[in-house]
Chains A and B, each alone.
Chain A
């Protein structure tokens, strides 16, 4: 409570409000400090006051052999996970809690951490969470309360920067690669402000909106965006802006999109050592899109293909009988964690291809690998030939 009160002062809040649920990012091990904090709370008998889901951890509990790190770190990471379960959190181990059957509804006040989950909750679900970090997430869950500040308040949810997309070729909107590129662009330009995307053909699907948000919350500090016609607080541009003039207006050009696309790769061609999909965690619909691409596919020798997903989604995949297709194709499925936060990849250098802007943003720093960004289909086509294959002409203006 001491931490919550201090953070309420920092945020300038005058009161606390009740929340209906929490999503805890603090369960991921980054060193002794996170473990010390968790064990202090759990040791004092802490119990969550509201339902609390857990974010990814460092370990895949269903496939423990995938972990290539040292055993000591794994033991500490496991203790940290256990401490949060002991406090009554649900062991969901996913960065995409919005893919779970039970998810918050429109207007609910919640305390979610994990940058991509925050932006999805605010933008797509219309639930209300501020941009919470580690430590305050579990404090909110233990007390069931948060400061009445930030994105919990109507006025702070107003769109601020309009990104007009009318000049872009319509075919780009049909590519899954367009959305992470767009998110990367708006995050870098918006910083902490709330972007409004105007000109997308509505409705944009949840996986595309997930990709926009995850990218914008990596290149920027975006905790909410509006997509006119697709997100619930933006039936019209005027509604997204709460009937006030925007602080800025950007006419997005083809050149801006091409520059953002180029910025997502540190290597644009050459041999591959791996492909990594599922950041944020692959949804059931994304698996449904992937399966036909695997028909008759043989991956090139030495190229590993990983898909990260939540254990709940993985259960659905197995129930539908899709797991065998993935295994036959040679895909390694990772649950409970992700390939860029813990040692899982067989290679620690070389070029890895991904369809995720978030993975492309963080993996070079975290793992030391080079990264090539492409669409889902380009990732699979590249894995078959063992080198980066991308359709450059698709991104021409004409």
Chain B
């Protein structure tokens, strides 16, 4: 667990790493990186699973701004730890008391995640399928 908290929502599994700056519009929650395979998808309110971060140092500010604006994912699941993403969630919690948990998910479990499945993140950092099937 990188940043603790509870969340529930529908999974969006990204096929490639994303730079939140230049890749996510914090005003809308849409993926705007035209080279990303899931450009145009909305992350708002979903449980965003991504292999890792990429690119800009400003990604932490863009995530914090998305959390402030209510366009952010409900939680973030990372295969590879990315300090820049953790920072955005951490600072938004300090400034606005809004918690978006960030978890590191081991590679095998990450590969089993499927877009559309409904999952819950518990405060202890565990991840559960809402309909009973463990992810």
Contact = CB atoms under 8 A, between A and B. Distances in A.
Interface string A244-267: 000000000000000000010010
B61 A134 contact: yes
Given A31-B26, A263-B35, A361-B22, A26 B61 contact: yes
Interface in A61-102: none
A131 B84 contact: yes
A32 interface: yes
B112 interface: no
Interface string A362-391: 101110000000000000000000000000
Interface stretch (A3-11, A233-241, A304-312): A3-11
Nearest to B16: A188
Interface in B89-113: 90-92, 94-96
Interface in B75-134: 80-84, 86-88, 90-92, 94-96
B83 A7 contact: yes
The residue among A28, A114, A137, A361 with the most chain B CB atoms within 10 A of its own CB is: A361
A2 interface: yes
Interface in B1-38: 2, 17, 19, 21-23, 26-27, 32-35
Contact of B34 (A191, A192, A365): A365
Nearest to A362: B22
Interface range, B side: 35 or more
Given A3-B91, A30-B65, A220 B84 contact: no
B58 A28 contact: yes
A221 interface: yes
Interface in B41-65: 52-62, 64-65
B17 A191 contact: yes
A115 B55 contact: yes
Contacts, number: 134
Contacts of B55: 115, 217-221, 361-362
A133 B95 contact: no
A301 to B, nearest CB: 29
A299 interface: no
Main secondary structure of the interface of A (DSSP, over half): helix
Contact of B57 (A7, A118, A191, A361): A118
Contacts of A10: 2, 81, 83, 86
A34 B83 contact: no
B74 interface: no
Contacts of B68: 31-33, 36
User: How extensive is the interface on chain A, given as a class?
Assistant: 35 or more
Interface core residue of B55, B56, B86, B87 (most chain A CB under 10 Å): B56
Contacts of A115: 55-57
A40 B17 contact: no
A26 B39 CA distance: 26
A365 B36 CA distance: 10
Given A31-B26, A133-B83, A192-B52, A266 B21 contact: no
B38 to A, nearest CB: 13
B64 A131 contact: no
B57 A3 contact: no
A25 B57 contact: yes
Contacts of B88: 133-135
A191 B80 CA distance: 10
Interface of A: 2-3, 6-7, 10-11, 25-26, 28, 30-34, 36-37, 40, 113-115, 118, 130-137, 191-192, 217-221, 263, 266, 361-362, 364-366
A-B interface, 9 closest residue pairs, ranked by CB to CB distance from nearest: A133-B84, A31-B65, A133-B60, A362-B22, A33-B64, A113-B57, A33-B65, A134-B61, A365-B32
Given A28-B61, A362-B56, 11 more contacts: A10-B81, A33-B61, A33-B65, A33-B95, A36-B95, A133-B59, A133-B87, A134-B84, A219-B55, A221-B55, A263-B35
11 contacts: A30-B58, A33-B64, A113-B57, A133-B57, A134-B57, A134-B60, A134-B84, A134-B87, A221-B17, A221-B82, A365-B22
